[in-house]
């Protein structure tokens, strides 16, 4: 067996199980990937002593990893605050996950550098079928909800925050096999992007789009609604700019312009009502009228009271889990998580760690913006990158197999575009 074949087997297994970190089997997935990656690295080192790397993947991933190395170093700065609870219940698990992520990043980088077009396209098809399973299970869950047949696993599908009129018709939200709609929402966006890339026949593609949008609608997830609308807006701008540069407007460009005109007219007619709603919503949040806003206010106060070293290098990896050791009031907050990658990194890795994450995203965005007008794979990679940037505002799964899974798909798309443009 060659090193490349071994890496390909690992990669395709990873593409199948990576998204399962959003499910109740998260711990099983991370342990399985850890053992598999460890074995593959050992065997790979025996099969070949030389490894090649693709520059974009290498530099972007180094920035990503550097942010967490900074947060590890920061533990030394805040060690007097950390107790046995942090060591027993937080840092050991986080270190285990971090080492697993490191091994995954390393193996993905080696595989990318030696993969050809056929293998890269096959990887995208595998990812598509995995996402399609989530969609089909979501539709099966919807049918079961209507006829009163329980789903085969228990998820957080209760209809909180949904008007009673809707709850009387649709009893539960769609989660598929994800733990909750917020965990499912990134997968739904990824499904829509990858479907447009993998499926060629227009009738099949639109049918698959319809299935995905059906699950999006009945997930009742505000995150996926906003994510999808922002992504459509960005895609419309990028597509319009490309058409203007080529001197030919296409049909979807006119649809986008007309849609923007309708939005403008809508804002003119309901602008006062919308502004009033936003004003009272923001005023209520800033006044601490919700548990989430109270927690975020307390966290921001903690950051403001931090020392210079803590502001620069953070408070340490995993310390978001022991905020009371740093002075967070011991009130029983309903929410003790930010659901925000950037805010989490600011706390754990400081401004230096956050800067590495910004550079990480900037490298991916720059490569996509530079080449999206000439290749559809690069365009898909750019959309996935923008999606990841948006998702990081309401999800904080930065050390998870799903995050690395999406990053791998971005790099696969960019690598395909790079190879095809180079051939042409």
pLDDT in tens, 147-186: 888 888 888 887 766 666 666 677 788 999 999 888 999 9
* Structural contact between residues 171 and 183, judged by C-beta atoms closer than 8 angstroms: no
SS3 assignment, position 299 = helix
Describe the chain by its helix, strand, coil percentages, rounded to 5: 75, 0, 25
Q: Which of 216, 206, 205 is nearest to 139 (CA)?
A: 216
**What local confidence, expressed as pLDDT, does residue 330 receive?**
64
92-123 tens-digit pLDDT = 888 999 999 999 999 999 999 989 899 999 99
Spans of the chain below 50 pLDDT: 281, 285
Q: Quick one: pLDDT at residue 364? A: 96
Give the pLDDT of residue 259: 84
C-beta neighbour count of 365 within 10 angstroms: 15
Q: What is the pLDDT of residue 124?
A: 96
Residue by residue, DSSP assigns 313-343 as: H-S-TTGGGGGGGGT---S--S------HHH
pLDDT of residue 285: 47
C-beta of residue 318 within 8 angstroms of C-beta of residue 92: no
pTM: 0.91
Token look-up 């967070």 returns 328
Q: Tell me the β-bridge partners of 23.
A: 178
């Amino acid at each position: 067996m060659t090193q490349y074949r071994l890496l390909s087997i690992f990669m395709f297994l990873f593409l199948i199980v990576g998204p399962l970190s959003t499910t109740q089997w998260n711990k099983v997935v991370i342990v399985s990937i850890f053992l598999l990656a460890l074995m593959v690295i050992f065997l790979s080192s025996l099969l070949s002593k030389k490894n090649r790397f693709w520059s974009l993947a290498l530099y972007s991933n180094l920035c990503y990893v550097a942010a967490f190395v900074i947060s590890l170093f920061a533990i030394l700065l805040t060690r007097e605050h950390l107790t046995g609870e942090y060591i027993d219940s937080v840092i050991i698990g986080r270190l285990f996950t971090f080492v697993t992520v490191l091994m995954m990043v390393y193996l993905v980088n080696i595989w990318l550098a030696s993969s050809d077009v056929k293998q890269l396209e096959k990887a995208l098809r595998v990812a598509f079928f995995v996402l399609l399973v989530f969609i089909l299970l979501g539709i099966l869950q919807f049918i079961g909800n209507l006829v009163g047949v329980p789903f085969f696993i228990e998820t957080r599908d209760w209809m909180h925050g949904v008007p009673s009129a809707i709850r009387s018709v649709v009893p539960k939200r769609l989660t598929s096999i994800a733990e909750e709609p917020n965990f499912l929402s990134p997968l739904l966006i990824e499904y829509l992007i990858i479907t447009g890339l993998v499926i060629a026949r227009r009738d099949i593609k639109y049918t698959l789009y319809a299935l995905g949008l059906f699950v999006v609608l009945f997930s009742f997830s505000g995150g996926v609604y906003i994510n999808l609308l922002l992504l459509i807006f960005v895609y419309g701008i990028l597509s319009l700019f490309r058409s203007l540069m080529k001197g030919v407007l296409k049909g979807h460009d006119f649809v986008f312009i007309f849609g923007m005109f309708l939005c403008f007219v809508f804002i003119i007619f309901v602008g006062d009502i919308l502004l009033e709603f936003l004003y009272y919503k923001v005023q209520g949040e800033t006044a601490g009228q919700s548990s989430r806003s109270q927690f975020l206010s307390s966290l921001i106060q903690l950051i403001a009271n931090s020392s210079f070293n803590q502001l620069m290098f953070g408070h340490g990896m995993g310390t978001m889990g022991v905020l009371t050791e740093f002075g967070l009031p011991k009130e029983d907050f309903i929410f003790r998580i930010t659901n925000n990658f950037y805010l989490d990194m600011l706390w754990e890795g400081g401004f230096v760690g956050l800067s590495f994450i910004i550079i990480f995203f900037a490298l991916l965005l720059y490569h996509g913006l530079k080449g999206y007008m000439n290749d559809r794979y690069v365009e898909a990679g750019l959309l996935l990158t923008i999606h990841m940037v948006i998702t990081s505002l309401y999800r904080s799964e930065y050390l998870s197999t799903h995050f690395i899974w999406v990053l791998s798909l971005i790099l696969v798309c960019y690598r395909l575009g790079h190879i095809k443009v180079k051939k042409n």
